[in-house]
Amino acid sequence: MSKKVVMIGPAYPLRGGLATFNERLARAFITAGDEAEIVTFSLQYPDFLFPGQTQFSSDPAPKDLKIEALVNSVNPLNWLKTGLHIKKQKPDIVIFRFWLPFMGPALGTIARIISGNKHTKILAITDNVIPHEKRPGDWIFTKYFLSACHGFITLSRSVLEDLKEFVPQKPAVYHPHPLYDNFGESQPKTVAKTALKLDPETNYLLFFGFIRAYKGLDLLLEAFADERLVKLKNVKLIIAGEYYEDAEPYEKLIKKYDLENRIVRATDFIPNSQVATYFNAADLIVQPYKNATQSGVSQIAYHFDKPMLVTDVGGLAELIPDGKVGYVTQPNPKAIADAIFDFYTSGKEAYFIEQVKFYKQQFSWQAMIEAIEEVAEKIPR
């Protein structure tokens, strides 16, 4: 039986991984025969709180989705208006995307108003419950939002455990982040390297995504200075992603370890249209995070059949079988360097690629919908 689903969270014209996920999930609901739309932000962050260059996408608007920009994250009158607007529609399910305590007051208020129709089941996909970067008020804002929801889907087991600290009695399930299959197709490395004006004879590691302290780029730069890797003359590191903090500490490490000629910088936001090119050019996708819950980067790598190196923090290792699709290491420079050296000297790339193709079959969007429906069924009207 088809249902009406409203998703509330980032979507076009906003950019980034959350928007990409939400749009892809909406398409999955539509493919399954449901009616789905997205309510996104008219104002997500005040400009002074946003760490990047712009909050908005340069890609064309998706023509196959209904997206309304309604939510102003800092205007309580808007929260009332938005909540009443959705309440009157009486959707069967509303799915909030929750990733930051700052959004708790707005989303929690909207959720409470919608649930007043005594029909809609209020769910949340919780990327993080305890944030990577802690601020005063986090616990109160998070608790306010979570207590307004009826059930939850987490993308890592660690977040499922964190959730129990706030709402231990409410239904919740863990389901891994589905495959990001919307960035285009695989292509030969040589074609991708040519498109990026890279040396076709050089091998490339890829660090991809917004650059923040918890993502451990400093650990990777220190690892890349390891003498064993220096001797691998034809290996370079691509840093592809926008700085969400001061770049100077990273530039100092590059200078300190004389890495300039071994680094390729692409430190602006990478639009969706260019994601495939960067992944297709790389041999190994490296996520040297210091702490994490889960990462969409892994699911892009799976789509493009790329081996991965992740650190054993949060939920990263849940999706990356060590020694099968790549490496799970401790979050320190030596362990990271050990894995990179092994990758380029042991001839495991072809084996990892075949294993990636096998393991990625479990990450379907239909399975995510089934997980959402499983939680919804546990919630009484």
List the chain domain ranges.
4-178+364-377, 189-362
Q: In what order do the strands lie in the sheet with 121-126?
A: 67-72, 35-43, 4-8, 93-98, 121-126, 151-154, 172-174
Closest C-alpha among 363, 372, 381, 355 to residue 179: 363
Whole-number Å distance between alpha carbons of 61 and 64: 9
Closest C-alpha among 307, 302, 344, 349 to residue 328: 307
Whole-number Å distance between alpha carbons of 14 and 319: 27
Whole-number Å distance between alpha carbons of 121 and 118: 8
The DSSP result for 318-361, as a single string, is GGS-BTTTEEEE-SSHHHHHHHHHHHHHHT-HHHHHHHHHHHGG
Instruction: For residue 8, give both structure tokens.
Output: 């509330």
Tell me which CATH code domain 4-178+364-377 carries.
3.40.50.11930
What is the pTM for the complete model shown?
A: 0.81
Q: Does domain 189-362 have CATH number 3.40.50.2000?
A: yes
pLDDT of residue 79: 98
Q: Which residues pair with 173 in a beta bridge?
A: 153
Per-residue pLDDT of the chain (381 residues; tens, 9 = 90+): 789 999 999 999 997 889 999 999 999 999 999 999 999 999 987 765 555 555 666 677 889 999 999 999 999 999 999 999 999 999 999 999 999 999 999 999 999 999 999 999 999 999 888 876 777 889 999 999 999 999 999 998 889 999 999 999 999 999 999 999 888 999 999 999 999 999 999 999 999 998 989 899 999 999 999 999 999 989 999 999 999 889 999 999 999 999 999 999 999 888 888 999 999 999 999 999 998 767 789 999 999 999 999 999 977 888 899 999 999 999 999 999 999 999 999 999 999 999 999 999 889 999 999 999 999 999 987
Q: Which residues pair with 308 in a beta bridge?
A: 285, 326
Closest C-alpha among 335, 194, 344, 217 to residue 287: 217
Identical fold, 4-178+364-377 and 189-362: yes
pLDDT of residue 206: 98
DSSP, collapsed to helix, strand or coil, labels residue 311 as strand
Instruction: For residue 204, give both structure tokens.
Output: 């490339």
